[in-house]
Amino acid sequence: MVAATAACVLGILAMSPAQAAAGANCGGASWYALHSKTASGERMNPALKTAAHRKLRFGTKIKVTNMRNGKSVVVRVNDRGPFIRGRVLDLSKGAAAEISMIRAGTAKVCYEIIR
């Protein structure tokens, strides 16, 4: 498997050839910590490492990297969203904490499908 890497060149996020080949996607991410049911039918647990994505199958595992600090986390898709332009993922609070984006609330991320 090719690891996702990205470089910030003159303030512009550039995707490496390895990322492009691996199908990495980049955009904004936010986090949420509700206890309601997810679109997959399971109850949202903010402590777990889960995510909402508009189209990926439920159960898909993806590696999410915070482009500001390079920290990564593997999450499981169990919900639908986000529904705000420019955002590609909504992360659970537990996942967001792993990549140090709780305080900011949002972050520029890249993700790649693991399985």
Encode pLDDT of 28-43 as tens digits. 999 999 899 999 999 9
Residues 59-81: tens digit of each pLDDT: 999 999 999 999 999 999 999 99
Please state, as a whole number, how many other Cβ atoms lie within 10 Å of the Cβ of residue 22. Answer: 17
What's the pTM value of the predicted model, to 2 decimals? 0.78
Q: Identify the H or E element spanning 13.
A: strand 12-15
Question: Can you name the CATH fold of 23-113?
Answer: Barwin-like endoglucanases (2.40.40)
